[in-house]
Amino acid sequence: MNGTELMTLRHHDLVVIGAGSGNYVIGDSFADLDVAIIEERWFGGTCLNAGCIPSKMLVYTAHVARTVRMAGAYDVDAELRTLRWREARDRVFQRLDAERDNGRNGREHEAWVTVYEGRARFTGFRTLRIDTGDGTVDVSAGQIVLAAGGRPMVPGPVVKSALPYETSDTVMRIDSPPRRLAILGGGYIAVELAEVFAEAGSSVAIVEKEERLLGPQDETVAERFTDLARSRFDLRLGREVTAVDGRPGALRLTLDDGSTAEAEMLLVAVGRVPNSDRLNLEAAGIATHDDGRVIVDEHQRTTAEGVFALGDMCSPVPLKHVANREAKVVAHNLRHPDDLTACDHELVPAAVFTQPQIASVGATEQDCRDLGLDYRVGMTGYGDVAYGWAMEDTTGFCKVLAEPGTGRILGAHLMGAQASTLIQPLVLAATLGIDAVTLAKSPYWIHPALTEVVENALLDLSL
């Protein structure tokens, strides 16, 4: 870049690339700076537009439908006529699209913020070129935050086929559910969306290379959830897709054992990749891991001075609540370089909003074995407590792993109603160092609330 070009650069004190959790970085304390936000696709990021929020709104709709359909178990005569897909979809996205537009408009009306809509790539040290669609804009910055998120991964055979497919970015906005849906992948995105479309009337086949669904979960959770899923979906486990052929609306998937699966629509949900490869990071001296994640230290600083990163671009735990926490750390560290705070990813809770729900924090039992830890297991079924009787629940459970002697909670795993809420006292105890015995015996536990399943799992530990 020659001297003349340097003179044409628009300079900002701070540039944030990505308006998902990146937008959370910029609070009122930055109003004394010249700030820019660059967003290629949509304000609010994946979570608001194609991830956590719309999927959970549709999942909840599916759960209501399932409750009606299963009402006979409680001696209630009810009939499910239909899940009105298009109305449900419009209810969800009319609200969320308005939230997205409000977020963008709010930023555009702040005098100290410049919004660029387009794709950014580095041209040098803290310099960027933005392709806006109507031309290019060159900018420089005193500090930069990378928060450009990730995108769905698409396997080679699907790309090679040149046939249409959906991802979590697109499938929730389709006009009508297919009669037959094939899903590649057995992780949380795959199983949540499988439930949505099954309740909307689709026949669902899931192709997963592992022998169980939700493989990273605790082995008891993965095994029991997979057993439950067999009665609801056509599971092709331990299999990979080698080819996709046919025509739009009449697809045939060939698996590595020679078997086939036919579907009107294919949903690819095999994982996500960071968008780091789209930013020309090498030009800025920003290093990445082998999987494409930007390398950061505990303060979210990259290998380039003055450049921070957060969220799915860099995080070892690509979850929205982690990205939001990292955004808070980055916001503080941008303004307080002499008083840096760190981000801790050791005890991050997570949930899968299936029916039944799943929630976890800390180590799985297989982690404990692999690490050679001395541990004890406490476990209680939902059917062992009074509220579980009311629910007629025969499959839910709480499993707690703790260190003998100290009672330190190593991990906790729930499968059942309200799991994403019930996990929280265990998250607090593990985070704050409250031992299992103290947690079980010191506070009152309401009877006959479902929280008794957590209390009894703690009491079941032989410490």
Residues identified as active-site: 447
Bridge partners of residue 231, in order along the sequence: none
- Asked whether the CA dihedral 367, 370, 376, 377 is positive or negative, the reply is positive
Rounded to whole angstroms, the Cα distance separating 216 from 318 reads 14
Would you state the structure tokens that stand for residue 91, as one six-digit string?
């209810």
Widest pairwise Cα distance in the chain: 80
Long-range contacts of 384-387 (CB under 8 A, 24+ apart): 384/453, 384/456, 385/448, 385/450, 385/452, 385/453, 385/456, 386/447, 386/448, 386/452, 387/448, 387/449, 387/450, 387/452
DSSP string, 283-326: GGT--B-TTSPBP--TT-B-SSTTEEE-GGGT-SS--HHHHHHH
Burial of 309 (C-beta count, 10 Å sphere; 0-12/13-18/19+)? buried
Rounded to whole angstroms, the Cα distance separating 121 from 101 reads 25
- Distances from the Cα of 3 to the Cαs of 6, 8, 141, 411, in angstroms? 5, 9, 17, 57
- Distances from the Cα of 120 to the Cαs of 101, 127, 157, 355, 407, in angstroms? 21, 10, 30, 40, 50
Bridge partners of residue 122, in order along the sequence: 128
